[in-house]
Amino acid sequence: MSESNGLPTRSRHSSRPHRAAALLPGLPLLLRGRALSGLSLMALAACMVTLLVLASDRVRTTFGAGRIDEWIALLTLLGAMAAAWGLGVAAILWPGAAGDGHTSQWAAAWHDFRKNRLAVVGLYVMVILCLATLLAPFLTPFAPGAFNDIAATRHLPPSLEHLMGTDRFGRDVFTRVLYGARISLSIGFIAVGISITLGTLIGAMSGYFGGVVDTVLMRFVDMLISFPRLVLLIAIIALLEPSVTLVIVVLGLTLWPSTARIVRSEVLSLREREFVQAARALGLKAPRIIFRHIVPNVLGPVIVAATLGIGNIILIEAGLSFLGMSVQPPTPSWGNIIDGGREYLVQAWWVTTFPGLAIVVTVIAFNLIGDGLRDALDPRLRLRR
């Protein structure tokens, strides 16, 4: 304990940066020796300002008759600028926020995570991707479904005007990849949200109560897991009308069993720990023990499973889209853009390559983050420090 858990203490010793530094986003962090964070915030702010200038026309029309996604984009833009600036200010106001002598497990995990370069790269990719998705209306002058003169714009190779070329209808592929990311990412996040919530609840109940509850729930899990997943998905979707909502619900409802198993096994060992018995000896009710004392202790593995799960779901969704079982054209998703370009692979490689790259980069990013989180959140690994 004496060496303060190996956590950074320099923030406590270094002098406060001058207040004027707060004017420039990221500068306070830069002055305190946190170059990467500082430069990132600066770059973020610079990008946002550039975007505001370049897309000033679009921003102006947003105030007049903006669509909902334009408003979201505007709020994201302003929010990102505020965050870039605010983080620097926070660093001045509360020098060494984590250095007040108390380190929660989360703070310690974040410290470990930051040391993992690849995981940090993954995190950067994810943040950029999410921002780009939200800012899509300002990043591209085209609409995702817009095509005017097919004959003149069909299958144009990548150029400055069309960064990723155009498809067989003359639509801008870059635009469609950006808008497709919305579908892919939101399916990923929401479906994972559903599945980890269900999985944690069911796994925790199963593990804590044991006995009949455990047997019934776990046999149900076994049953779900024993179905070939893709066949089950295709069967359900084929029975009903394919739509984004359906895909989210079906993925969410079929992927929870693996989370439930992870949570259950963790809970089985946790409930034998004395703090759970101590909580019971203090007169706490079962739901409170589960949610306050057990669930926070299994969040580590759950978060890891969720992060890896998002990558997995994006892949599954792309596969389903490719098979025409998910998002229906003309709404773009990464899978159906690839499907649309499949026949023209030789004439127009760009139609399939760029969304394919987007899938690869995204899935790798999420897997890197997941690996980093696993190492950072595993208490067994922490013991070695």
Binding residues (CB under 8 A) for another protein: these are: 1, 5, 101-105, 210-211, 273-275, 277-285, 292-293, 296-297, 379
Cβ proximity to another protein: between 149 and 274 the closer is 274
Measuring CA to CA, which residue among 92, 88, 113, 118 is closest to residue 7?
113
CB of 282 to another protein, least distance (A): 4
CB of 42 to another protein, least distance (A): 34
Cβ proximity to another protein: between 126 and 276 the closer is 276
CB of 275 to another protein, least distance (A): 5
Cβ proximity to another protein: between 5 and 14 the closer is 5
Q: How far, CA to CA in Å, does 365 sit from each of 109, 118, 248, 310, 362?
A: 19, 9, 21, 10, 5
State residue 289 phi and psi, 5-degree precision. Answer: -65, -45
**SS3 of 321, please?**
helix
CA angle 350, 354, 359 (to 5 degrees): 150
Measuring CA to CA, which residue among 136, 160, 159, 146 is closest to residue 51?
136
Cβ proximity to another protein: between 104 and 148 the closer is 104
Are 377 and 304 spatial neighbours (Cβ–Cβ below 8 Å)? yes
CB contact set of 262 (below 8 Å; sequence gap of 6+): 199, 203, 298, 301, 302, 305
CB of 8 to another protein, least distance (A): 16
Cβ proximity to another protein: between 136 and 267 the closer is 267
Tokens representing 87? Answer: 């983080």
Cβ proximity to another protein: between 111 and 155 the closer is 111
CB of 14 to another protein, least distance (A): 22
Cβ proximity to another protein: between 100 and 241 the closer is 100
CB of 273 to another protein, least distance (A): 5
Q: What is the DSSP letter of 20?
A: G
CA angle 56, 59, 63 (to 5 degrees): 140
If residue 377 lies in a helix (H) or strand (E), which one and from where to where? Answer: helix 349-377
CB of 298 to another protein, least distance (A): 10
